[in-house]
């Protein structure tokens, strides 16, 4: 399966290396797309080596072909997976904003969408975030997590942790056996 793996600005971004590695080992073709904020937590080179594909960071990276890279990835994707999904990117998706390649791919793809949020518990529980989640669910997106309890990187305890990598890999396997919509 061709998977576009989005990585956003969350401390949980470091787990994307393990996730990408497991997906590649399962035989998936993984194309990583990072927000600028994600690069503060994990390097594009790490994900490029693990996925064996170039990592898309900005629209300026798309000068190699006549067809914009984000549109090509959107067309080829069989699953659009974002793990971790930050509150910022979640809001961009919910409101149809496309300030970066990841949000642009979201708007252009017809692939199934699996979103794994990771953020501070107060951010997750905020009414604005919950409205955005509801809007994305209405649009057909599936959410995995966040975990409802646990110690967060910010020192809080509560909801907001990224779903375990194994659970995300299991969810991808479920999508592989489900026909696209």
pLDDT tops 70 at residue 40: yes
Taking 50 as the threshold, does the pLDDT of residue 66 lie above it?
Answer: no
Which one of the listed residues 128, 151, 153, 154 is annotated catalytic? 154
Domain definitions of the chain by residue range: 2-154+162-176
CATH number of 2-154+162-176: 3.40.50.1950
In contact, 165 and 15? CB cutoff 8 Å: yes
* Annotated catalytic residue 32: no
Please determine, for residue 32, whether its predicted confidence score (pLDDT) is greater than 90. Answer: yes
Model pTM above 0.85: yes
Q: pLDDT tens digits, residue range 126-139?
A: 999 999 999 999 99
Q: Do 79 and 172 touch, CB atoms closer than 8 A? A: yes
58 falls in which pLDDT band (50, 70, 90)?
A: confident
**Is the predicted pLDDT of residue 163 greater than 50, yes or no?**
yes
**In the predicted structure, residue 153 carries a pLDDT above the cut 80:** no
């Amino acid at each position: 399966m061709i998977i576009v793996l989005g990585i956003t600005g969350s401390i949980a971004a470091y787990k994307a290396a393990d996730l990408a590695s497991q997906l590649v080992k399962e035989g998936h073709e993984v194309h990583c797309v990072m927000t600028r904020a994600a690069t503060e937590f994990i390097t594009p080179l790490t994900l490029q080596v693990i996925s064996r594909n170039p990592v898309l960071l900005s629209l300026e990276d798309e000068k190699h072909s006549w067809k914009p890279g984000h549109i090509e990835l959107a067309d080829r994707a069989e699953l659009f997976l974002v793990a971790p999904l930050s509150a910022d990117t979640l809001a961009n998706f919910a409101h149809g904003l496309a300030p970066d390649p990841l949000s642009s791919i979201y708007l252009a793809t017809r692939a199934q969408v699996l979103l794994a949020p990771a953020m501070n518990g107060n951010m997750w529980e905020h009414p604005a975030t919950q409205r955005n989640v509801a809007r994305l669910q209405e649009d057909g997106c599936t959410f995995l997590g966040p975990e409802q309890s646990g110690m967060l990187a910010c020192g809080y305890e509560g909801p907001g942790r990224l779903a375990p990598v194994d659970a995300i890999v299991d969810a991808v396997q479920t999508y592989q056996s489900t026909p696209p919509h």
